Amino acid sequence: MKIDWNKNPLIPAIAQDFESHEVLMLAYMNEEAYNLTLATGYAHYFSRSKQRLWKKGESSNHTQEVKDILLDCDADTVILKIKQNGVACHTGTKSCFFTSVMQDKIILEKEVDTDAIYSVVDTLYHTILERKNAPKEAKSWTKKLLDDKDLMLSKIREEADEVCVAINEESDEQVIYESADLLYHTLVGLGYRDISPDRVKQELGRRFGLSGITEKESRNK
């Protein structure tokens, strides 16, 4: 099945996270944008307001790496299974869909509290990706770590050791403080490798039987 560009010169393109399956944004493609996406492996769209082609992330570096493209049964809509670098929405949120219109059959219009939807870990990870894609002259501790692998690795080792010391001989508050430091620096390491924390969650689910594999089976693998 092929797209009939004469019949449908502009088609909706839905960007969906290839790991979490979360719908991130909706844009439009013409034939040229579609072919550029296929040729480059990065999402290109056609702007209806500016009447031009644009590459997602061309100014923000929040690019979309295309892992798969699904064509619907009428061949007039596509789903892009993508790896989102940074955030999808120009407002700085992970997804463009954060305004609730109806809940429990009650019509309303309000912004959804994205902090309530996405965990602190998810929000922090996407902030780390923003720092990663920031210009080289940008100054932040996260950016410094991402640009200096040896420093980043030494900090992860240092924080892991401090957690061990805290657990062994310090207060509960200090254990929490040092654990937060270790988690942050570990997330920086994941961001350096472009590994979503969702994959860590999935591995934990696999180990503890949340995906049909029991803890005992996991240990035996």
Q: Which domains does the chain have, with CATH numbers?
A: 1-113 (3.10.20.810), 119-215 (1.10.287.1080)
State phi, psi for 132 to the nearest 5 degrees. -60, -40
From first to last of the 221 residues of the chain, give the pLDDT tens digit.
Answer: 799 999 999 999 999 999 888 899 999 999 999 999 999 999 999 998 888 999 998 877 889 999 999 999 999 999 999 999 988 887 777 888 877 776 666 666 666 555 555 577 877 887 888 888 777 777 899 999 999 999 999 999 999 999 999 999 999 999 999 999 999 999 999 999 988 887 888 788 888 876 444 434 444 44
In the prediction, which pLDDT does 116 show? 54
Predicted model pTM: 0.53
Give the CA angle between residues 129, 133, 134 to the nearest 5°: 115
In the prediction, which pLDDT does 147 show? 93
